Structures are given as C-alpha cells and as structure tokens.
Structure 1
C-alpha cells in the first residue's frame, strides 16, 4: 500500500496522465455505447452495427506498427496533447448525422478516432516509465489498467442514458468535452524527458527509407530474443482468443445460459467490478512481486476461471455462476495486464519503446480479427462452448509458459529491486 499511496500522492505528473486517461476513456465508452445503440436504431441492421467494429479494428492492423515510428521521433507528452485535440475535432461531423443517409459519417469518425488512438496508446505506455520510479512501475501499470474498468462502468451507463435522451449530437459533444479536459490535464505535466535527436535525412526518398528502416527495426525487436518473442506470441494467441470471446459470448449467454439482452449486459459489465478490485490489489502488491510472476499467475487464473464459466452450463443451470465468474476473472485480468505491460516496458529502451508497442498492438489487432472471423465460422460448425474453451486454454497454457520462463523475462534490475 505504501507504493500505491506514494505513486498517487507524490508523482504529480503521473497522476495527471492517469486522470487524463480516465476522463478520455470514459468519453470513449460513452460514445461507443451510444453509437452502437443509435446505428442499429437508424438502420435496423446488425451488419451496419458490425461495421463499427470493422472501422475500429482496421487501423491497429494497418497503422499501428508505423505509428510507433513517429511516437519514437516525437515528444510523447506533446503527441498525447495533440491527439486529444484532434479527437475532439474529429467528432464534430457527428453533429450532421440525423438519419440513415449520413451513416457513413459515423464510420468515418470511428475510423479517424481509431487512427489517432494508434499514436496515443504507444505514446502513453512509453511515457509512463519516465514518470515514476522503476520500483513503482508495476504499481503504476496496475492503476492504468484499473482506469479502463472504471471508465467502462461509468461510460457505458452514461452512454446508454445519453443515447436515449440526447441523440448522437449530445454523445459527440460530451465525448469531445472529455478530450478537451484530458488535454488540459496533460498540459499541466511538467516532466520533459530527454529525447534522442532524430537525424534528418535530406530529401523525401532518404527520409522514407529511414522511416522504413526504423519500422523494420521495431518489428525485429519484437521477434529478436526469447523474451520478446514470448511476449509477441502470447499477445497473438490471446488476441485470437479475445476475438473469439467478443464474437461468441453474446450467443453463449443466449443459447447456453438462456439469458436475455439485459442479462448479457450485466454479466459483461460485471467483469469491470472485479477489474477495479483487482487493479487496487495489483497496485498495492506491485513492489512485492516480480512483474513476470504477476503476469504468469494472472494468465493461468484468468484462463481457469474462463474455462469454468464456459463449461459450467454442461452441468448446472442458472446465470449466477456466470456473474460470479466474470467478477472473479477481473482480479487475475488486472494482474495479467499490469504484469505484461511492466515486462514489456522493462525489456525495451526508451528510444524504441513506441515502435515495439506499435508493432505489438498491430499484431494483436490482426489476431483479434482472425479470432472474430474464425469464431463466426466455427461457432456454427463445432459449437459455441468448444470454441470458447480454446480461448480459456490459450490464456491458461500461455500463463504456464510464462511461469516456466521467468528467468528470461525478468531483467536484472527487476530482481535486484525486489531484493532491496
């Protein structure tokens, strides 16, 4: 608890970044929830609703890796400020959407926001290690993971309310306001990390070739050495599982559990409750455990609880085990995210961290798309439960592998700090 208290009270710049992330993520959930409702109301088409997912998933695959090159070249604080400003501007076309004929504007806005996010996420994850002491990094990452769950709980509820009362225009204005607030918080960050000077290449062609070389270097780092290869493979395997989960969990609740839309929404959101608790626990224990250990244990427990959720309908009728399981899975989920993020940050140096995160996010985005496509086909052919079981096994086996390779995943300074 001491490190948790110190990070929140003494690390002013980190506190501002954390608050900015919470505000903007809440706005994202408000918009995401409200638009999902309105697109279906305007079109009456599930295919049109699926287009929102496609518009948000394509940029990580197509742009994520390249965006990391720019993140390593630019000041990361300034990158986050500018992307927040652009986010607010990009939302303005939603004010012109009044009927189905303007639905393309919604897709364009979601596409633009997702493109901007490919610059913001690597910049944020690369900036955090410079805002806290090294021994506090795991605690900081645990708090970061918790903000997404808090934002999900608040934003989803507010988004549903605004969608029912104010329409798309109100959703856009509220989300834009959250980005402006987040930008103001980031402007208060005083820390200016020393950035490596980027050698300017004369002419367009040499500049393009240099950027290509830096982009390839980021991918090479992700695939070089047993530690980074393990990180990369884990992200791809679990990314496929997340795609499967996002596609088949609603049919699972309906067909296997007998739940309705309300039950699905409540079961899904209940994971955020566990995530908030888990984030606090992980933050409090951050200085006592190796990051790789927390990652591995979190992945194993996450997989086991998911397997229990998916398999219990074969032996037991009722919805309450699903509610309990989704709350419980939030705890190891927080451990998994905080531990994995800390390991990646410690395995990379500041000069290349943006490219590494960009490449990892791109690979995970592609894996999610593969999982979504595969689940859509295999769910009908093999069955919902067998395909979902593969998702749980991916996390469980991945966690076992992580725990078996702790020595290669923990840099020397991680072990020294824990022993101190």
Structure 2
C-alpha cells in the first residue's frame, strides 16, 4: 500500500490513471446498455448483439498497424486528448443514429468510435512510462490491473444498471461525460516534450504510407531482436487463447455437464466468482511484486492458473467448479502485473508505441483462432472437459517454457542494460 501511495503522489500519474479509468468507463457503459437495448427491441434478432461485440473488437485488426506508429511519431498527449474528444462526439452521433434507427449507420458509428479508442491506450501507456521511475512500473501495472478487475467484476452490471435507470440515451450520455472528463484530465497533465515527442516533432502529413509501413516493420524487428521481449510476448499470445476459451468454456461446462437446467443463472455466479478472484489476485500480486522477481511471478501465475483450469474440468459439482475457477483467477494477475511492470523497463521509450501496437493484434489473432477452433471442434470432436485441458495445458506449457528461458534471458538483458549504462556514464 505504501508503494501505491508513493506512485499516486505523482500528480501527472494521478491524472493519467483517472483519465484511463474514465475513458474505459465510457467504453463499457454505453456499449453494454446498447447491447441490452438491442436484445429488448430486437429479441428475435440476437445477431445484432453479436455484431455490437464485433464492432468493439474488429477495429483492432483494422488499425493495429497505425496505433503504435502514431504513439511514437505524434504528440502522445494530444493523441490521447483528441481520442477522448472524438469518442465523445461519436457517442453523440450514436444517439442520433439510434433515433434514426438505421442499423448499418449505427454499427458504422460504433466501429469508428471503437477504432478511435484503440489509439488511446498506447499513447497513454507510453506517457506513463516516461513520468514514472523504473521501480514504480510494476506498482503502476498493479493499479491498472485493479481497474481491469473492477471493470471485469462490475462493468457489465454498471452498464445494465445505468440502462435500467436512464435508458440507452442516458447511458450513452454518461459515455459522453466520462470521455470529456478523461480529455480534461489528459489536458491538465504537465508532460515533458521528450516524453510526449520521443522521436521529435512530426505533422500528420509526414506520416506517409511508406513511413507507417517502415515504422511498423521496425517495431516487429525490435521485438525479434530482443530475446527477453520476444519471449514475454508469448505470454500475450497465450492470453488471447485464454480470453477466447473463457468466453465460452464456463457456460459450456454448466450447460452440457454441471447445470443444464440453470446454466444461465449459474453463469452469472461463475462470472462474479472469477471477477472476485482476479480482484483479490491483483492485490496479492501487487504486494508479491515487492518481494520476488518478476519472472518468478510470471511462472507461478501461469502454473497456478493452468493447473486449476485443468482441475476444473474434473469438477462434478457446480460449487467445486466455482472453487477451481476462483483459484485459477487468483493466478492470472500475477502474470498480468509482472509482464505489465516489466515491459516498460526493457523497452526503449522511443519504441514503446510500436511495441504496444503489436500486442493487441497478437492477442486478438490468437483469441480468434481459439474461438474458431472451438466452433469447429466442439462438440463433434472435443468434449467440454477437453476445452479446459487445451487452455490450462497451454498456460502450463508456457509456464514450463518460461521456467527454462526467462531466468537466462533476464540475466542477459540486465547485463546489456548495465553495459549501456557504462558506455553512457563511464560508471556502473
């Protein structure tokens, strides 16, 4: 808790932290409310709700090659600021399109709003790297994990509550307000030019297709040339597998094995149990990060989560299944916080945006592959228990892989950093 307090004493971090929080809130509330509005109004067309989810995720694949380049070449503070304002304007446009009732236009606005929001996080995350000391990165990652846990636990419920209270128009208006608050917080932060513009000043007209593609390839080259960074990115690919599996695995387990008559109600409880596990795991991981090495946290988290996901497949009672799910959720923040705190310390600030620009598409690609594989193979080829073996087994295999690689690559990375310091200062 002392470390949290120390980090929060940095006024710029406070502003960026709450800007990130309010911007995420603006993403969640309106989207959830709109989905329930569609389910209420078009109950015989559930595909609309699925398309709404796609309008949130698919833009990642449309703009992933741009977001990192923009975060490294343009003013990071202005990118985050204008992302929020454009999201607020598009939210107002969304209200207008819902009044018109033309679904293609509604989905087009949702797509644009989501695409704009994808530029926010790489720019904000890169600024956080520049305003904190190296030893504070893991604490900041822990705080961000807590926010993610809270949204996982309460995000959909908050969106439903706002929808029931003020309706879909009121919920989207809340989006507008939260985006504006986030923009004002970003604007009020005093960020040094070397943090905002690590690669010098550029205009939008400077970002030609050739430069964008060159920078995108440079980000890929940078990742592949750094063994530790390349190895850590394997974790993000596995997270995509876990995300893809967990969107359907629990409900399949309940529907086809444990609670076929009450799986809908039980799935809500499983979601709450999982969210509570991640939240408590975030607190535990934040404390543990001050006592053990980060690579040890990553390995522990992967092995704990993977083993209990596999054990969950053998549960013959709903509450035993929830217990295993809870313990598996406790382990995931160990991995998230360790990697989230580690990466800023090993990535050149001038390359942070381009590296971050690779993470989301890698996760989205592995998540899509997992969902596609499940759609093809379940239940014709795979039983429901095998889905848990697949996801849990992937986590355990990566944990074992990290057990043999991370200690070695960490030592190499530390030696390289020390050598750089000697060259630059003449001292260790």
Question: Is the shorter-chain TM-score for this pair beyond 0.5, marking a shared fold?
Answer: yes
In structure 2, how many angstroms separate the alpha carbons of the residues matched to 1:352 and 1:307?
Answer: 38
**Is the contact made by 1:291 and 1:343 (CA closer than 8 Å) also made in structure 2?**
yes
1:176-255 mapped onto 2 (5 Å cutoff): 176-194=176-194, 195-198=197-200, 207-255=208-256
In structure 2, how many angstroms separate the alpha carbons of the residues matched to 1:107 and 1:249?
Answer: 29
How big is the shift at 1:145? 0.9
In structure 2, how many angstroms separate the alpha carbons of the residues matched to 1:212 and 1:181?
Answer: 34
Q: 172-181 or 288-297: which moved more? A: 288-297
How big is the shift at 1:50? 1.7
In structure 2, how many angstroms separate the alpha carbons of the residues matched to 1:26 and 1:201?
Answer: 31
- The corresponding residue for 2:373 is 374
How large is the RMSD of aligned CA atoms in angstroms? 2.6
- The corresponding residue for 1:335 is 334
In structure 2, how many angstroms separate the alpha carbons of the residues matched to 1:136 and 1:199?
Answer: 28
In structure 2, how many angstroms separate the alpha carbons of the residues matched to 1:201 and 1:103?
Answer: 36
- The corresponding residue for 1:64 is 64
**Is the contact made by 2:253 and 2:385 (CA closer than 8 Å) also made in structure 1?**
yes
How big is the shift at 1:174? 1.0
- The corresponding residue for 2:37 is 38
- The corresponding residue for 1:355 is 354
In structure 1, how many angstroms separate the alpha carbons of the residues matched to 2:231 and 2:110?
Answer: 32
Secondary structure at 1:56 match in 2? helix
CA shift in 2, pair 1:351/1:35, >3 Å: same
- The corresponding residue for 1:386 is 386
CA shift in 2, pair 1:302/1:58, >3 Å: same
- The corresponding residue for 2:421 is none
How big is the shift at 1:24? 2.4
CA shift in 2, pair 1:193/1:285, >3 Å: farther
- The corresponding residue for 1:147 is 147
The alignment of Structure 1 onto Structure 2 pairs a total of residues equal to 410
User: Structure 2 regions of 5+ residues with no counterpart?
Assistant: 419-428
Deviations 1:194-215 (A, max 9, x none): 13344869987x9332222111
1:232-311 mapped onto 2 (5 Å cutoff): 232-258=233-259, 259-311=262-314
- The corresponding residue for 2:320 is 321
Deviations 1:235-292 (A, max 9, x none): 2233133212213332222222214322212211332222222222222333322222
CA shift in 2, pair 1:5/1:233, >3 Å: same
CA shift in 2, pair 1:287/1:112, >3 Å: same
How big is the shift at 1:97? 5.0
How big is the shift at 1:141? 0.4
**Is the contact made by 1:29 and 1:152 (CA closer than 8 Å) also made in structure 2?**
no
**Is the contact made by 2:29 and 2:155 (CA closer than 8 Å) also made in structure 1?**
yes
TM-score normalised per structure 2:
0.88
CA shift in 2, pair 1:403/1:14, >3 Å: farther
In structure 1, how many angstroms separate the alpha carbons of the residues matched to 2:90 and 2:108?
Answer: 9
In structure 2, how many angstroms separate the alpha carbons of the residues matched to 1:252 and 1:221?
Answer: 41
How big is the shift at 1:112? 1.8
**Is the contact made by 1:299 and 1:332 (CA closer than 8 Å) also made in structure 2?**
yes
Deviations 1:376-412 (A, max 9, x none): 1112221222123211111121122122222314642
CA shift in 2, pair 1:321/1:203, >3 Å: closer
Q: Which has the higher contact order (CA 8 A, sep 6+)?
A: 1
In structure 1, how many angstroms separate the alpha carbons of the residues matched to 2:277 and 2:10?
Answer: 26
In structure 2, how many angstroms separate the alpha carbons of the residues matched to 1:124 and 1:197?
Answer: 16
